[in-house]
Chain A
């Protein structure tokens, strides 16, 4: 083993470029695989962006379909729902990014304080489990609570107050229901990165702090949060890139597709689905997706600029 190591350092220090290249070749090849993957998966499909500006025809193919300018984008703005869906998409996303951050960091810190290793694993799994559930299943779980004829909540409220709330016809409750469902489902996944960052914090900080008499709260406020800041900011910036997209299953399945709820459940994705369900127009769906990407890109760049202004080290690029 030690023999090998010596050879390695000898090779890189003294021998010619060719030998050094040969030495690192396996690593280049390994890296190349990743680059090739990214090129194929993330860069080659960029050519397909042109579909958003074309009258796509299967027989003619992507390259030979005729250009039609911005016509594919019109349907997004033709409806008076345009304002509603953009408002819903943006407000839910921005609210959830911040709520998710607070709950995620909180849950990670709490879980990190659990000492028993078995209990810790159990809690982590239990919290993560809903994330693995299909939205259709979740929709029926919610329905079990809110169904007008047999829902657990509906019936309890009926017994207590004498009123039956028609949850599936009253938009005013749904911003809260959707937020609750989203956080309940997403929290396990949202805290994983925070938890792993917490595990990376040197326990020495805490030992020193407790020796100096710092309370648990002070330790969290003055050690944990500042050390988590880079992770928090990174996730914030990345999440802002998704700000014009929405969880289709959540907004489509969980409200049971009820039209009276559209004012608070219609997002860009559900609108595009509803509008194009029968039409199957590839160009128009590409156009919707294109706008989402462009807006996401603008948000990421802006957020990164702001972060860089405040704290240069925390910016992504």
Chain B
């Protein structure tokens, strides 16, 4: 009898707990609804606060310090020193803006989902990263970001000043939503190569090499049993790395400005003569044995093959500090650029910081953002961790650091692959970049021409069907062309063009052109 009573009670308790669980689950849609009100309230609160701040705009040191959640984007590094970095950051932020930070490492692949789900689920979010795989325009149409213009005017003078060159690119429909991690955003296509090998085999690598010169290099390398490069199973528009295009969409699926500094004519790059020539070049390379025969199925990355000295070179974007990404202790690397430096919207919005629509204290977030752009020490901390622990100064230099020789050499201490904080002219640089970096960066940006479409962002909201179909076509038809492994380049390109047209690519480009014309007319 006793047993049964207990079992009844247990069952009851179990049922109750399950029901309780059910309760919290069913709450979700309600929360989503409430979230919008919260966002509105936050906006209202912010408006009230900034209205008050307009007169004072000073930090209130009497209240309890507010903890600001901020994301850093990486590749699942362990970040063992995270707490020490937070302590060091707090030592700066507490006396200056009366706030502490909670640094949250985030895997790049999860950026979009973690951010949108966090906002929808009402999690504590303050400073969020956009760009990379979760574009500013997507974040804005998802309602993730707060408008920043008022906050910026009242609490963010340093942030506004540092990002002034790219201010137009930070706006969607005239409203600023995020601050660029690349305030000096000039960029171009380039090639990174094994300099030790080039010197040994007498290959002359220089800026803006022609395709014929690269082919000649391939022949020399073949004699020495090294592959020129590897394309692999990629549906990217590889041509963009060897050109000065302004590309809409990751692979030009919304069109390309092929001479962006001179013409605002958006073209379908896949219908261009240059693209077909590029595919023909790759076929020559493959047929001549300059590319690995099993490149389509071998999933070893080209970065790995390059580090292992199996391939001589690979495409990369070119900026004055890009070489640091490719540094290797086994051989010397070299970097050449394949086109003129260019200022584009895409370069500026590559990685950005914004304030979450649900943040409780947008004012504090702006204080921190402003401090990040103002204080080089803080920017360095967030980028590279604690000095002596995560990196050391290189002897005989002023601003050059290295992670070699520290426990962080394997990136286990504190490392963010994709985040860039603050003013690049105020933070340290990583060897082999030298102290001349600041001048190089300025010169590179001064030399750069500006795309006619700078500041403009294509709104693809009306074309989801076309975008999906184009993406599927590119993944089906582009990899073999990229790899030079089609039997008839012309026929394959014609096939690709027909499929893209059927998918609606030319309609999307026409729509893009209309939006750009309207933007330029303003």
Contact = CB atoms under 8 A, between A and B. Distances in A.
Contacts of A280: 112, 138
A80 B473 CA distance: 10
B63 interface: no
A107 B112 CA distance: 46
A36 interface: yes
Contacts of A72: 464
A44 B26 contact: yes
Contacts of A279: 464, 467-468, 471
Interface stretch (B172-180, B305-313, B498-506): B498-506
B121 to A, nearest CB: 10
A203 interface: no
A210 interface: no
A71 interface: yes
Contact of A258 (B19, B25, B297, B504): B297
Interface string A259-283: 1101000100001001111111101
B419 to A, nearest CB: 21
Contacts of A147: 294, 297
A100 to B, nearest CB: 28
A62 interface: yes
A148 B11 contact: no
Interface stretch (A24-32, A170-178, A299-307): A24-32
B75 interface: no
Nearest to A150: B294
Interface string A50-73: 000000011111111000000110
Nearest to B466: A78
B311 to A, nearest CB: 16
A32 B296 contact: no
B8 A259 contact: no
Interface in B249-281: 249-250
Contacts of B233: 256-259
Interface string B429-440: 000000000000
Contacts of B293: 148-149
Interface in B439-483: 464-469, 471-473, 475-480
A143 interface: yes
Interface in B296-345: 296-297, 299
Contacts of B116: 58
A262 B14 CA distance: 50
B475 A168 contact: no
A275 B11 contact: no
Interface stretch (B33-41, B199-207, B398-406, B509-517): B33-41
B7 A61 contact: no
Contacts of A61: 29, 32-33, 35-36, 120
B29 A62 contact: yes
A29 B477 contact: no
A60 B141 CA distance: 10
A119 interface: no
A57 B143 contact: yes
Contacts of B11: 26, 29-30
Interface in A240-259: 256-259
A277 B112 CA distance: 12
A311 B360 CA distance: 65
A274 B233 CA distance: 14
Contact of A259 (B29, B294, B479): B479
Contacts of A57: 141-143
Contact of B476 (A63, A64, A262): A262
A40 B28 CA distance: 13
Given A29-B15, A36-B22, A274-B475, A58 B468 contact: no
Interface in A281-316: 281, 283-284
Contact of A40 (B22, B357, B477): B22
Contact of B33 (A36, A63, A79, A168): A63
The 3 closest A-B pairs by CB, nearest first: A59-B143, A61-B32, A275-B468
26 contacts: A26-B11, A33-B15, A36-B15, A40-B22, A58-B116, A58-B120, A59-B142, A59-B143, A71-B465, A79-B469, A147-B294, A256-B297, A258-B296, A258-B297, A259-B235, A262-B476, A274-B471, A275-B468, A275-B472, A277-B471, A279-B471, A280-B112, A280-B138, A283-B464, A284-B464, A284-B465
Given A63-B32, A278-B249, A279-B468, 19 more contacts: A37-B18, A58-B116, A58-B142, A63-B33, A74-B465, A75-B465, A78-B468, A79-B469, A147-B294, A258-B479, A259-B235, A260-B480, A275-B469, A277-B471, A278-B467, A279-B467, A279-B471, A280-B138, A281-B468
